Chains A and B, each alone.
Chain A
């Protein structure tokens, strides 16, 4: 294999692995803020127990997120030197802002969040937790802004020619608020918040099924369900807005999302299907004119197909882009259905009465993760063959001095290390979850636990 494909595999692999953790940290961060907030408000110790328990899980996701995140920062320079020279001037300020404003905030307060329970007052601890969460949200802003600039570059000028060409920033705020960044920041944020909420629901649904920590789990589940329902619905709005942006700014990507090769006056919307690249056809059920309607509010508006673009400027893996995009949308709709159903049962006072539903929540934890991953796959594969849309091709972005063997070495290295990390991650999560918020068998240490729980309910 050549150095380009190896470098792409390595980047895709390391970023996908990294992206398991930050969304969980962001999502859990909000839930922890809410739990501690409830504790401050109600003085009910159960909320503090919950917050302490989730802090332990958070420590694992955060630690892995940092360790695998530094890899990403270095990989720009090691594997994508030409890209780094090209974008450094523009992209750099976003990264610098990320580091100094956001990452320093979250990592600084992390120590207090994890180890400060007995050292600072509850209100100070709450502020630390909020700082960590706010920092992680803010971190996401800058990273997504940088990526959005690659999708829809603005606020720059090109200096130099050929391989020496590079983008120079002309307007910082135009770079930050490039046409896709607001939509995409919101979409990424909400995706992360949903992922965190689903993890909390999954764990507490499991406790409820096993009859453990019942009082505690009902509280936690309700907080997470409210968060999940709110953001699942909002995600529909940001998703729709994002797709509209893609239609305007990256029409070739939109055509790939829907497998449209030819321009029709009426662009159909496939619910699911299979794209045959040879015959340029999609097989599957569709809504006639649905895509035109979603984008333009009119079933008869034409939308450009892939054949309307220069053939060396469109993504080649159309079926993959189509599938990832459609799976993401399908999962998103599932989250809305499931969480609204949950709210309905809560309203009727029957939320915890159906064991099958709790099992559904236990296993649904995987789907927001997949939706987040697939969304990024669709976004990044749909941008190909460009690494910076319309300006720099992925194949031109490599490091000239790095050979295929070197990348093969590092790829094998990362594969082995990450496989180990993933096994350990699952093992430790499992262990922490089994251990639970406190030792239930040890009633002596918490003699009032049961009676307190009853009075409060």
Chain B
């Protein structure tokens, strides 16, 4: 099997996909978090500022999902096909909320009437919360395992995705994104709104830490096999430790008013948590609850070596370009939100 830097192609592509979804979680995570807070802001002016904090960037952030989905389809077609068809209903609902989130941002400002703005505000906020919840539910199902049978086809019932563990992970995702979004809003606001955001931010940190502790406890008690990898190699303990430290660092930085650093550490938290998930499962991506022979792994789900090589080349050329203009866009809109005639 061909390797690069001693890592085989399927694993490399797994890292690429992981990086893309981690990028998506970090970037659209703050959009979704800001959306979840939206109804907490009472004044029209505040809502507009909050909305325009994500206004110029949310669309670019959503791209990471498009690319992540494409990367999954391209590199792990078996996984893509099985997972998406197994979780048909949650993915369809996710799409519906995704559409509502997008059009709410787009349509809200187009009319002055109160009922119009209220409708889109509610739609925007509910859609943001539900997207975060469903993303968490999908991760929860991946951790829990899915009823996969021969040909890696789903054998269970369509409602199976709503198991308590997945829901718990879903709520945790909402909490994490709300914390992340609040930090972002703190970076982008000033005056009274900033004070309010700060208050909400402190609450969301507590909300997240409580949820995170519950999920960790639940995992340790009911899904002990997930920690097998950590038992085997004590050095890997560094990953949960880093996740824990970066979570602990967030309230410390917030209390000092260092929001940019807090944002970086809440981003790191997301990455470490996703790395932890990947580490606990790899090389399995989705565990079959029927028989380990039906587990979907990076190897049995991967495209051919040739295909992976082509895509790794594409990523090597395209990746730096994407980063380059992402940086350019964020630099253009750096700083506190200023409303002008082009704003939402």
Contact = CB atoms under 8 A, between A and B. Distances in A.
Contact of A164 (B63, B83, B151, B328): B151
A283 interface: no
B92 A92 contact: no
A77 B304 CA distance: 19
Contacts of B107: 424, 428
Contacts, number: 230
Contacts of B241: none
B202 to A, nearest CB: 30
A68 B100 CA distance: 11
Contact of A168 (B70, B102, B304): B304
A401 B73 contact: no
A85 B333 CA distance: 41
A64 B98 CA distance: 11
Contacts of A401: 85-86, 88, 153-155
B95 A108 contact: no
A98 interface: yes
Interface string B332-343: 110000001011
B168 interface: no
B56 interface: yes
Nearest to A62: B59
B242 interface: no
Interface residues of A, number: 73
Nearest to B319: A100
Contacts of B62: 66, 70, 107
Interface string A133-176: 00000000000000000000000000100011010111010000
Nearest to B16: A96
Contacts of A111: 55-57, 59-60, 329, 332-333
A401 B85 CA distance: 7
| Residue from A68, A82, A120, A169 having most chain B Cβ neighbours under 10 A | A169
Interface stretch (B211-219, B268-276, B305-313): B305-313
B80 A88 contact: yes
Interface in B75-103: 75-78, 80-86, 88-89, 91-92, 94-96, 98-100, 102-103
Interface in A48-97: 59-60, 63-64, 66-71, 73-74, 76-79, 81-82, 84-85, 87-93, 95-97
Interface string A120-138: 1000000000010000000
A114 B56 contact: yes
Contacts of A76: 73, 80, 84
A116 B333 CA distance: 8
Contacts of A98: 70
B289 to A, nearest CB: 15
A68 B306 CA distance: 32
B66 interface: yes
Interface in B129-170: 151, 153-155, 158
Contact of A99 (B57, B70, B99): B70
B240 interface: no
Nearest to B72: A77
A66 B59 contact: yes
Interface stretch (A234-242, A256-264, A350-358, A409-417): A409-417
A399 interface: yes
A93 B310 contact: yes
A108 B329 contact: yes
A406 B89 contact: yes
A92 B311 contact: yes
Given A115-B333, A116-B332, A399-B85, A169 B63 contact: no
A386 interface: no
Nearest to B94: A74
A135 to B, nearest CB: 10
Interface in B286-344: 303-304, 306-307, 310-311, 314-315, 318-319, 321-322, 325-326, 328-329, 332-333, 340, 342-343
Nearest to A171: B306
A421 B104 CA distance: 11
Contact of B91 (A68, A74, A166, A172): A74
Interface string B98-128: 1110110111001000000000000000000
Nearest to A98: B70
Contacts of B315: 96, 100
A311 interface: no
Nearest to A109: B325
14 contacts: A64-B106, A74-B95, A77-B84, A77-B85, A88-B77, A88-B78, A92-B75, A92-B303, A100-B67, A104-B63, A104-B318, A400-B85, A402-B88, A406-B158
Given A96-B314, A172-B310, 19 more contacts: A73-B69, A76-B73, A77-B81, A79-B85, A88-B74, A88-B77, A88-B78, A88-B303, A92-B77, A101-B314, A104-B63, A104-B318, A108-B322, A111-B333, A112-B332, A169-B306, A399-B88, A400-B151, A409-B89
Interface of B: 55-57, 59-60, 62-63, 65-67, 69-71, 73-78, 80-86, 88-89, 91-92, 94-96, 98-100, 102-103, 105-107, 110, 151, 153-155, 158, 303-304, 306-307, 310-311, 314-315, 318-319, 321-322, 325-326, 328-329, 332-333, 340, 342-343
